[in-house]
Structure 1
Amino acid sequence: MNARMDTQDACDLRFGQVGIANVRIRRVDAAALCDELERRVRTAPQLFSRAAVVLDLSHLLELPDDGTVDALLEAVRSAGMLPVGLAYGTSEMEALALRMGLPLIAKFRAAYEPADGGSIAPPAPPAEPVRRAEAVRSEPAPPAAAPLGAQSIDGAVRSGQQVYARDRDLVINGVVANGAEVIADGSIHIYGSLRGRAMAGAQGDEKARIYISDFRAELVAIAGHYRVFEQIPKDLEGQSVRCWLEGEKLLIAKL
């Protein structure tokens, strides 16, 4: 008798939203990087210890050589974090990622391009040629897309869950538990207790805000600027608060 063949798939492969931190390198100094990341891990070990991170080299004017990048990756590991990829950049960055055996993570490209247009930033598209006025035919402008309404969640966001509102605000009518994440490209309104993490302006919108009825957060962040529980004044705990950015500083105040 022939043995029964097992036709069940060996695995499922799916894509979803995951919480990955970005380590943007401002200067090439592996020892200083390790020291800085170790300090962050000590400040909030539950958040940063063994956290998955992407190494972002786009702020540097010149791409480091392979040995230097390997030293930076080892500094991240030594600090207690786990580098899982490189932030998307140029074709040279793609070749570097291939040599390092790491994937490129395109999610972080737009928010961290060098402000001075350095060599790592993608080149600007070529300008359209100037045409004589009589050769241009006026075409009606396409209608503007209607803005998306806020995504609303009624009920608790449980530990281990993540909610992401793409291209819109997020409204939570309930508790965000410890270990849960709520993320929005726009602002976040939580009519309940925030005990987990809230990240607004996920695609770099520095005008985004976070409003919370009962503030007990593990972390709040706007456009990549964050504050963790240990950095939050005790007199704000349990209060109704708002969070916003002034420059690169994330501020929190009672409502």
Structure 2
Amino acid sequence: MSARAESLEAACDLRFGQVGIACVRVRRVDAAALVEELERRVRSAPQMFNRAAVVLDLSHLPRLPDDGMVDALLEAIRSAGMMPVGIAYGTSETEALAERMNLPLIAKFRAQYEPGQGDTATAQAPAPAAPAMARAEPAASVETGTTITAQQHTGSAVRSGQQVYARERDLVVAAAVANGAEVIADGSIHVYGTLRGRAMAGAQGDETARIFCSDFRAELVAIAGHYRVFEDMPKEFEGQAVQCWLDNGKLMIARL
């Protein structure tokens, strides 16, 4: 390559992708209690939560804390072993706060607070790192009214470090999902194989979404941000065909 060609070559690529980020929704301003709660979560599943990227969500407080308290909350997150990477969008005051804190507003959470959207659940559970996207085969693109066919992933297993995401539709996986792999859908998820990794349905806040699995051994399952990790799941469901759903904000699991 000539010197001129090298000088014209782009220094980098900039792209947006799907990256799992946890949302720490603060319900009372108490940094000590926040550290205690987050440390408990990290201890329950260290491989999942240790050094996990998280967004600080202050939208459920009656008023924004002052800058000093926000600093204390951010430090509480770091002390627990997690890594704050931004602030969830709320109002123009939140935007000004993020600027003063020199932190970004995470666009993924913006739609939850736009007028007319109502109160939605927290963001999807965390992924330790940005995963590689596995290829997924969409079903025939047949639409009837607003109904969109499910996205399908068939053939090879979803391997560790891979992610399959079905945007604005259900996801059907006719293969195994390995440890460290992720399957995510804005709708429901159907896994016709062994689920050892993470399954996150209702990724944009749909609390009616469900997860169905024929061989349940998941590291984590989540619906509209409400999650349970392997250590918290009854052992009687391991290896069974199960479904997961939300009941008044609690994630339920039962045999099919």
Helix, strand or coil: the match of 2:205? Answer: coil
AA in 1 matched with 2:46: P
Q: Say which one has the larger Rg.
A: 1
How far 1:68 sits from its partner (Å)?
0.6
Gaps in structure 1 of 5+ consecutive residues: 119-143
Q: 2 CA distance for matches of 1:17 and 1:107?
A: 9
Helix, strand or coil: the match of 2:148? Answer: coil
1:148 alignment counterpart: 148
Q: 1 CA distance for matches of 2:54 and 2:12?
A: 25
Q: 1 CA distance for matches of 2:113 and 2:206?
A: 12
2:3 alignment counterpart: 4
Q: 2 CA distance for matches of 1:175 and 1:230?
A: 21
1:75 alignment counterpart: 76
2:217 alignment counterpart: 216
How far 1:20 sits from its partner (Å)?
0.3
Between 46-55 and 4-13, the greater mean CA deviation after superposition: 4-13
1:134 alignment counterpart: none
Matched-pair contact (CA < 8 Å) for 2:209–2:245: yes
Q: Residues 34-183 of structure 1: matches in 2 within 5 Å?
A: 34-111=35-112, 145-155=145-155, 156-183=157-184
AA in 1 matched with 2:28: R
Deviation per residue, 1:5-46 (Å, 9 max, x gap): 533332221110000010000000011001100000000000
Deviation per residue, 1:103-150 (Å, 9 max, x gap): 11132245579xxx99xxxxxxxxxxxxxxxxxxxxxxxxx9431110
TM-score, with length taken from structure 2:
0.84
Q: 2 CA distance for matches of 1:199 and 1:72?
A: 27
TM-score, with length taken from structure 1:
0.84
2:238 alignment counterpart: 237
1:128 alignment counterpart: none
Helix, strand or coil: the match of 1:34? Answer: helix
Using a 3 Å threshold, how does the CA distance of structure 1 residues 186 and 96 change in structure 2: closer, same or farther?
same
Identity %: 76
1:198 alignment counterpart: 199
Helix, strand or coil: the match of 2:59? Answer: coil
Q: 1 or 2 for the larger relative contact order (CA 8 Å, sep ≥6)? A: 2
Q: 1 CA distance for matches of 2:254 and 2:32?
A: 36
Q: 1 CA distance for matches of 2:86 and 2:145?
A: 34
2:34 alignment counterpart: 33
